[in-house]
């Protein structure tokens, strides 16, 4: 009896029926060699030409029945000798990736490029990254909450806010759910959210998109050290799950010994001040108060620590108004950025200023009007507690784990300054 089989679970001599798409097609004499693709992978299929002549092109959807034969030369070690083939949906002969492909084509035909083995593999790992985060937070009794996307004031700097018309008024697209997440703490104590975040990034870099997926936990009665431990535990858990559950595709992304080491080792913590001194021989112009760019971050993590590294205690002026100032050194804040290999910053984190008078002082220094943040200021008026949280860019972490060169490959439909299509 024929049955629908998973490509990975085939056995020699079985008669099977398999459904998929024609990934590659080669005619030789009276036979055609089809590589059939479905969600489980690819398998070579040998078909008599009279059954398909003139009917089949690359990407047609088909159903094949036949016998499984072991063959070392075939991808996956098996092939199907087809006894019948049914074309479910024809494919036109002008498949755009027939002749050549380029990065522009991968972007213009994104809706079709999602079928490539490369995107199929990345999307599977992305799924596991997100589902592992959900199980991590469930195990630790966090509540998943839903902050708004239309907002009326900036969380991070106003320079990257998207303004949208809103029934005769102005609204903005959220850059981060953080301020709202803080408001859940007196109710739920440990919360997290995964939301799209928007940044009007004008610069073209390999790690900035205008729309990205932001994973943000917020925890009551946690300090910046607890916060770093939570980041380390979460990302190590994600990597473990990816190695366990996506074994099938991880071999496509090169040597995995590097990420296996990230799970085993404790990640270093370095103060910003120490980082500046460490980087000086390589970047002589770098001085206290300078922002670290991709080049500096990548050098630190790729050449020096060779492990993810937490950089803490940044100068107060460089960072956001909500970060808690270090009482023992008021020039710096109790924050961390997490730098990861192959990308640099993947997480921005801090202990929050939880006292009303100190928050108002920070707002003054950052030239913010407390009236624009009245509801946020309210949170400090009624039973405030120390708390911390962070924002993790899903795309950046995926770039790091898979050692991808460009953020565009981590998203099905990446958005840049010049791209909202398809
Ligand atoms: O460091 P950021 O700006 O921190 C915040 O938004 C905090 N309010 C988060 C929090 O504490 N809850 O952004 C956090 C992370 C960055 O480390 C980076 O991984 C990612 O968001 N990110 C971007 N990813 C892709 N493209 C962009 N344009 C990004 N901007 C930030």
Tens digit of pLDDT for each residue in 246-261?
998 998 999 999 999 9
**By the 8 A CB rule, do 212 and 173 touch?**
no
Work out whether the CA dihedral 321, 327, 330, 333 comes out positive or negative.
negative
Categorize the per-residue pLDDT at 54 as very low, low, confident or very high, splitting at 50, 70 and 90: confident
pLDDT tens by residue, 310-346? 999 999 999 999 999 999 999 999 999 999 999 999 9
Predicted TM-score (pTM) of this structure:
0.97
**Residue 286 Cα, ligand 1 centroid: separation in angstroms?**
23
What is the CATH superfamily name and number for domain 7-94? Nucleic acid-binding proteins (2.40.50.140)
**Residue 155 Cα, ligand 1 centroid: separation in angstroms?**
11
The burial of 204, by beta-carbon neighbours within 10 Å (0-12 exposed, 13-18 middle, 19 or more buried), is given as: exposed
pLDDT at residue 238 in the model = 98
Average pLDDT, integer, range 101-106: 95
Please determine, for residue 204, whether its predicted confidence score (pLDDT) is greater than 70: yes
Q: Which CATH number fits domain 111-410: 1.25.50.10, 3.40.109.10, 3.30.930.10, 3.40.50.1820?
A: 3.30.930.10
Q: Is the CB of 211 under 6 A from ligand 1?
A: no
Q: Give the ligand 1 atom nearest the CA of 389.
A: 11
Please determine, for residue 29, whether its predicted confidence score (pLDDT) is greater than 50: yes
Closest CA to 76 of 53, 99, 43, 54: 43
Q: Is the CB of 410 under 6 A from ligand 1?
A: no
CATH 3.30.930.10 maps onto the chain at 111-410
**Residue 284 Cα, ligand 1 centroid: separation in angstroms?**
28
Q: Is the CB of 344 under 6 A from ligand 1?
A: no
Q: Give the ligand 1 atom nearest the CA of 201.
A: 28
pLDDT at residue 102 in the model = 95
**By the 8 A CB rule, do 177 and 216 touch?**
yes
């Amino acid at each position: 009896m024929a049955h629908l089989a998973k490509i990975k679970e085939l056995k020699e001599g079985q008669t099977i029926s398999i459904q998929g798409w024609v990934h590659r097609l080669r005619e030789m004499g009276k036979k055609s060699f089809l590589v059939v693709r479905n969600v489980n992978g690819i398998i070579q299929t040998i078909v008599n030409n009279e059954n398909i002549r003139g009917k089949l092109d690359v990407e047609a959807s088909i159903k094949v029945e036949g016998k499984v034969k072991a063959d070392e030369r075939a991808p996956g070690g098996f092939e199907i000798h087809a006894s019948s083939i049914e074309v479910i949906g024809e494919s036109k002969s002008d498949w755009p990736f027939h002749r050549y492909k380029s990065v522009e084509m991968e972007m213009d035909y994104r809706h079709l490029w999602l079928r490539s083995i490369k995107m199929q593999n990345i999307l599977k790992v992305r799924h596991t990254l997100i589902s592992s985060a959900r199980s991590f937070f469930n195990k630790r009794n966090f509540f998943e909450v839903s902050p708004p996307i239309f907002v009326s004031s900036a969380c991070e700097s106003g320079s990257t806010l998207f303004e949208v018309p809103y029934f005769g008024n102005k609204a903005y697209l959220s850059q981060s759910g953080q301020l709202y997440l803080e408001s859940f703490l007196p109710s739920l104590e440990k919360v997290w959210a995964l939301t799209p975040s928007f940044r009007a990034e004008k610069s073209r870099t390999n790690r900035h998109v205008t729309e990205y997926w932001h994973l943000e936990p917020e925890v009551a009665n946690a300090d910046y050290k607890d916060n770093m431990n939570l980041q380390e535990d979460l990302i190590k858990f994600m990597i473990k799950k990816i190695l366990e559950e996506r074994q099938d595709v991880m071999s496509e992304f090169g040597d995995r010994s590097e990420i296996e080491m990230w799970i085993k080792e404790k990640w270093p913590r370095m103060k910003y001040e120490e980082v500046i001194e460490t980087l000086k021989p390589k970047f002589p112009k770098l001085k206290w108060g300078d922002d670290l760019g991709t080049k500096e971050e990548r050098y630190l993590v790729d050449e020096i620590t060779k492990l993810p590294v937490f950089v803490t205690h940044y100068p107060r002026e460089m960072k956001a108004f909500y970060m808690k100032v270090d009482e023992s050194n008021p020039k710096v804040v109790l924050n961390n950025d997490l730098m990861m290999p192959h990308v640099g910053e993947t997480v921005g984190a801090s202990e929050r200023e939880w006292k009303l008078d100190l928050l108002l002082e920070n707002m003054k220094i950052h030239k913010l009007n407390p009236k624009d943040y009245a509801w946020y200021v309210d949170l400090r008026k009624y039973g405030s507690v120390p708390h911390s949280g962070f924002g993790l860019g899903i795309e950046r972490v995926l770039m790091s784990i898979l050692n991808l060169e460009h953020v565009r490959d981590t998203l099905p439909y990446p958005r840049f300054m010049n791209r909202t299509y398809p």
